[in-house]
Amino acid sequence: MTFHKLLIANRGEIACRIIKSAHDMGISCVAVYVDADADSLFVKQADEAIRLSDSYLNSKEIIAAAKTTGAQAIHPGYGFLSENAKFSRDVLKEGLIWVGPNSRVITSMGDKLKAKVLAEKAGVPTLPMTTDPKKAGSIGFPVLIKAAAGGGGKGMRIVETKKDLKESILSAQREALSGFGDDRVFIERYVGSSRHIEIQILGDSHGNVVHLGERECSIQRRHQKIIEESPSPRVDPEMRQAMGEAAVNLAKKLKYESAGTVEFLVDDKTGEFWFLEVNTRLQVEHPVTEGVTGKDLVYEQLRIARGEELGYEQGDVEWQGSSIEARLYAEDPSNDFLPATGQLIAYQPDANIEARWDTGVEQGSVIGTDFDPMIAKVISTGKTRTDAANKLALALESLHIGGVITNRDFLVSSLRSEEFHQGLTTSDFIEKVNPQRKIPMVGETLELASSVAALWIQGLNRNNSRTLSQIPSGWRNSRLPKQKLSFKCLEEEATITYQIRRDGSFDLNEGSIAKIFNWKESGIDIEIDGQRFFSKVTKNKETVVVHMPWGDAVLEILPRFVLPGSEVQAGGLIAPMPGKVIDLKVKVGSKVKKGDTLVILEAMKMEHQVKAFEDGKVSKLLIRKDDQLENGTLLMVVDPK
């Protein structure tokens, strides 16, 4: 069952990750891509690529691409067709090798309702649940609505009271149908202060199964994980053994082959745990397991697909140190973590900071609405959990990034919080700790970043000058006013004045002194009032991204003469993110109350409800159902009551 060419039926950082391990094994890789990904990094890293006509869900075209290129095996990655049993069967029917568990296991575990029944038969505890909304009260509110056919936060809603149940079920069903092609949902007991603990399993075709310990994935927003780690600060050796044995027993009952994950929900107070689901694929957060065990899970998957034995037993598995992963997203933490779009004007990790970057983008890449807005997974491993957390926070702080809003500052704030270092990482971490969403760009912070930008720009102008290029910036033989540049960061503005001195330093603003030690197009080594640092700087048209010791400032160069702008319409509601209008709840003349849902938008297969912020009446309606909107589009005007 050996193979030397692998087709990867996925995209982005997933495909890049698989390509790396396959290349390390001497296996050539074939990528498939849609038009939106024509310039993506994974297409460039693959040895060859085939364009798909419409979608990564087109299984016939993907199999045809494997046959055309001579690929003997297909790796589905995670997401898309990775847990599609029919695709798995079709791959095998065509005489190709499927990298993953067999279709029987995918079918039984892909349906969360069937998976619960099988878990109970294997002696694994499960949470109370029902498929009948009328019986939700018997479980007790709050409850959690979940999609039967999928995960990743899609089709999931927390419902606090009975009156919100009907609308939440309808919304979850729409999202589930869009994401998985199956609108079935069920209602489960909701455990507030809990932890999501998952056990990594590996099984081969010879009956051998081991677990590689646990990962904790409790810190989530919008029911999606953002920080994961191994080992968990909550799990002791006894709990690890109990959960590990439960996972292995279930895997053996399933005759599981390949890599997989058994997810559990743990009551933080009692340590009681319940089965949630089995993910019959590689997980996004698998690198933290690799960090503490030293095992390459993609390598193991490919070996198992070749029919090889694991070659080790449970007693041979060892764990060393701590590994933590953060998911860097294009999203706005200050706006309910809604997805953001744009072009990465700057994207440059610091090569001097030790961290693993699993990414599918590069500087110049466009983050659009077609796919998940994850930019990278950033992973740090240390001798202790504190070391790993500090290294990860420093790696994120040292990243030079701009052009799209990200959750970088929020991740750093979370990792540096006292609660995180104490291991208080329950599922309500964000609500309890309320980490800083972004670094405020006001006052001295904005002035310092703008000063760096102004002096870097004067260097750029000198460097690009075709005449008198040897004369220092701002040189004069008479009394002239200081040079001036104005910048805007979000809603804040800063004006910087500077003038060169005889010794080459600069009078800056009101009383500050700046000295440039080195200037180059990629950045500036500068000292301002005794504080010296090197700032990476990237300019794109009238936008300047300046990397400071605490992160990046994205500045807009303001024109010298500003034309009058249009006023924002009073009562206007705007789209909080780019997306498609999938439901419109009002019409012109509709009376609304504060909190009423007015519009439902969909982006990245997730729904967002735009609600009324006050009582009033709809006087203008500027959108229609199925409209594709840009971020900030005016939706309607609601006149206050």
Could you give the residue numbers annotated as active site? 281
Cβ pair 290, 297 in contact under 8 A:
yes
Tally of CA atoms within 13 A in the half-sphere of 218 that contains its CB: 31
Rounded Cα–Cα distance for residues 156 and 150 (Å): 10
CA–centroid distance for 334 within its chain: 16
Closest CA to 334 of 425, 432, 436: 436
H or E element in which residue 197 lies: strand 194-203
Q: How many helices (H) and strands (E) does the chain have?
A: 16, 39
Which residues are within 8 A (CB) of 17 and not within 5 positions of it... i.e. 6 or more apart?
298, 358
Please state whether beta strands 543-548 and 531-540 pair in parallel, antiparallel, or not at all (unpaired). Answer: antiparallel
- Largest Cα separation within the chain, whole Å, is 90
Rounded Cα–Cα distance for residues 348 and 512 (Å): 30
Cβ pair 34, 52 in contact under 8 A:
yes
Cβ pair 216, 195 in contact under 8 A:
yes
Cβ pair 426, 267 in contact under 8 A:
no
Rounded Cα–Cα distance for residues 604 and 322 (Å): 32
H or E element in which residue 456 lies: helix 443-464
Other CB atoms within a 10 A radius of the CB of residue 286 amount to: 28
**DSSP secondary-structure letter at 314?**
G
66 φ, ψ to 5°?
Answer: -65, -45
Rounded Cα–Cα distance for residues 119 and 129 (Å): 14
Q: What region, left, alpha or beta, does residue 511 occupy, with left being phi > 0 and alpha being psi -120 to 50 degrees?
A: left
Q: What region, left, alpha or beta, does residue 271 occupy, with left being phi > 0 and alpha being psi -120 to 50 degrees?
A: left
Closest CA to 197 of 226, 253, 240: 240
Rounded to the nearest 10°, the torsion over CA 454, 455, 459, 462 is 70
Please state whether beta strands 5-8 and 28-33 pair in parallel, antiparallel, or not at all (unpaired). Answer: parallel
What amino acid occupies position 82? S
**Residue 565 exposed, middle or buried by CB count within 10 Å (0-12, 13-18, 19+):** exposed
Residue whose token pair is 């807009």: 556
Rounded to the nearest 10°, the torsion over CA 180, 185, 187, 190 is 10
